[in-house]
C-alpha cells in the first residue's frame, strides 16, 4: 500500500469505520484522526478508531500520505482550509461525501496546490458518531471515485487500491453522473422517508397513537432511513439540489400516475408497476447489495446498509 499514513478528519460512522478497516486490512498503515467534538475525540480514543487521535486537524495531517474528509458537505471546504498550511505537498486528498460536484469544487478551491480525488463509499447505517463505526462497513459495497478530467493516474490507482483493500468494489464516474445516479438511488428516497415519517407524526393524534404501535410494516423501514444524521442530509440536499429537484419532478409525475390508477380503478396499471418493482428488488439481492432475510440482515451489524450514505 502506497499510503504509509492515513489522516481521517471526522471520526463518526464513516471516519471511524475507515480507521477500523485500515487497522484490520492494512496493518502496515498508520492512522491519525481528528474530530471537532472533544467528546467524540475522547470516545474515538477509547475505541481506538485510529492509532492516534489528535487535538487539532493540522496535527492529524502533518505527516499524511492520504487525507480523507469525513465531515458534512456544508463544512467540507472549511475543514480543508483548516489543514492547508500543515498538509504535506505529497498528500492525496479525498472524502466520503454523497454529492460530488459541490464537494469537488469546495476541496479544489480550499486546496488548489494538492491532488484532490473525491470518493463516495455507498455504505452506511442510520447511526452516527464514534460508536457507530465498524470495520466491515465497506465489505462488498460500492465506492464511487470521481476524479477530475486531469488527474494523476498513479494517485487514482492508489486510491482505488486503498478502497479495494477495505473490501469495497470500486466504480469510476464523473461527478455530474454520480450526483444524478445518487439523487435517484439515495437522496430522493431519503427525502420521501423524511416526508412520510413526518406526515405520520402529524397524524398521531388522529390515529390515537396507532402509527407507532403498528409500525412493524413498511413504515418501520422508512423510520430507519429517516433516523439518519440530520446535519449531513440537510447538506446533501442543498449541495445536490439540481439533481434532486430533477429526480423529484420525475417522481412526482409517476406518483400522480399511480394516484390516477387508484382513482379510476385501473388494477392492471397497479399490478404492472408492482410486478416491475418487485423484479428490481430481486436484482438488488442478486447483486449482493442487500439481504433477502425478513429483517434485511439488519440484525447483522456488518450488513452495511445504506441509510447514511
What residue spans define the domains of the chain?
A: 5-174, 177-286
Of 3.40.50.720, 3.30.70.20, 3.90.170.10, 3.40.228.10, the CATH number of 5-174 is: 3.40.50.720
Distance CA 139, CA 161 (A): 14
Q: Is residue 80 a contact partner of residue 111, using CB atoms and an 8 Å limit?
A: yes
- Checking if the pLDDT of 300 tops 80, the result is no
- Checking if the pLDDT of 307 tops 90, the result is no
What pLDDT was estimated at residue 219? 77
Distance CA 56, CA 297 (A): 38
- Checking if the pLDDT of 174 tops 90, the result is yes
Distance CA 77, CA 92 (A): 16
Band of residue 303 on the pLDDT scale cut at 50, 70, 90: very low
Number of H helices, E strands in the chain: 13, 9
Q: Is residue 51 a contact partner of residue 26, using CB atoms and an 8 Å limit?
A: no
Beta pairing class for 66-69 and 92-95: parallel
Instruction: State the CB neighbour count (10 A cutoff) for residue 200.
Output: 17
**Mean pLDDT of the residues in the chain:** 88
Distance CA 285, CA 297 (A): 11
Those residues whose C-beta lies under 8 Å from the C-beta of residue 291, and which sit 6 or more positions away, are 285, 297, 300, 303
Kindly state the average pLDDT of the residues 154-178. Answer: 96
Stated pTM of the model: 0.82
Band of residue 259 on the pLDDT scale cut at 50, 70, 90: very high
Beta pairing class for 66-69 and 52-53: unpaired
Q: How far lies 109's CA from each of 64, 103, 155, in Å?
A: 20, 10, 19
- Checking if the pLDDT of 83 tops 70, the result is yes
Which tens digit of pLDDT belongs to each residue from 20-33? 999 999 999 999 99
Kindly state the average pLDDT of the residues 134-147. Answer: 95
Winning range, highest mean pLDDT, from 65-69, 150-154, 194-198, 235-239:
65-69
Name residue 145's beta-bridge partners: 119, 172
Kindly state the average pLDDT of the residues 60-66. Answer: 97
Band of residue 297 on the pLDDT scale cut at 50, 70, 90: very low
Cell readout for 303 is 450488513
The CATH number assigned to the domain with range 177-286 reads: 1.10.3660.10
Helix axes 241-264, 230-239, angle to 10 degrees: 100
**Lowest-pLDDT range, 15-19, 175-179, 297-301?**
297-301
Residue written as cell 438488488? 284
What pLDDT was estimated at residue 304? 44
- Checking if the pLDDT of 294 tops 60, the result is no
Asked whether the domain spanning 177-286 has the same topology as the one spanning 5-174, the reply is: no
Amino acid at each position: 500500500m502506497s499510503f504509509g499514513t492515513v489522516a481521517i478528519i471526522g471520526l463518526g460512522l464513516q471516519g471511524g469505520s475507515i480507521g477500523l478497516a485500515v487497522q484490520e486490512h492494512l496493518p502496515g498503515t498508520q492512522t491519525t484522526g481528528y474530530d471537532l467534538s472533544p467528546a467524540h475525540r475522547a470516545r474515538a480514543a477509547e475505541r481506538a478508531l485510529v492509532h492516534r487521535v489528535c487535538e487539532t486537524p493540522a496535527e492529524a495531517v502533518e505527516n499524511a500520505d492520504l487525507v480523507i474528509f469525513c465531515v458534512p458537505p456544508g463544512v467540507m471546504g472549511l475543514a480543508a482550509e483548516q489543514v492547508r498550511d500543515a498538509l504535506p505537498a505529497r498528500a492525496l486528498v479525498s472524502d466520503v461525501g454523497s454529492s460530488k460536484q459541490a464537494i469537488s469544487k469546495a476541496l479544489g478551491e480550499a486546496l488548489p496546490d494538492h491532488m484532490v480525488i473525491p470518493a463516495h463509499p455507498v455504505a452506511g447505517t442510520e447511526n452516527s458518531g464514534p460508536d457507530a463505526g465498524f470495520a466491515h462497513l465497506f465489505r462488498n459495497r460500492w465506492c464511487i471515485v470521481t476524479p477530475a478530467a486531469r488527474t494523476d493516474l498513479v494517485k487514482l490507482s492508489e486510491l482505488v487500491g486503498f478502497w479495494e483493500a477495505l473490501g469495497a468494489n470500486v466504480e469510476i464516474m464523473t461527478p455530474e453522473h454520480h450526483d444524478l445516479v445518487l439523487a435517484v438511488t439515495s437522496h430522493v428516497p431519503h427525502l420521501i422517508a423524511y416526508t412520510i415519517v413526518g406526515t405520520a407524526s402529524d397524524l398521531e393524534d388522529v390515529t390515537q397513537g396507532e402509527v407507532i404501535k403498528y409500525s412493524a410494516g413498511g413504515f418501520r423501514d422508512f423510520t430507519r432511513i429517516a433516523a439518519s444524521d440530520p446535519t449531513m442530509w440537510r447538506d446533501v440536499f442543498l449541495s445536490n439540489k439540481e439533481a434532486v429537484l430533477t429526480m423529484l419532478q420525475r417522481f412526482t409525475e409517476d406518483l400522480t400516475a399511480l394516484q390516477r390508477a387508484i382513482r379510476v380503478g385501473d388494477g392492471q396499471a397497479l399490478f404492472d408497476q408492482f410486478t416491475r418493482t418487485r423484479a428490481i428488488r430481486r436484482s438488488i439481492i442478486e447483486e449482493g447489495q442487500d439481504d433477502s432475510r425478513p429483517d434485511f440482515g439488519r440484525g447483522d451489524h456488518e450488513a452495511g446498509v445504506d441509510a447514511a450514505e
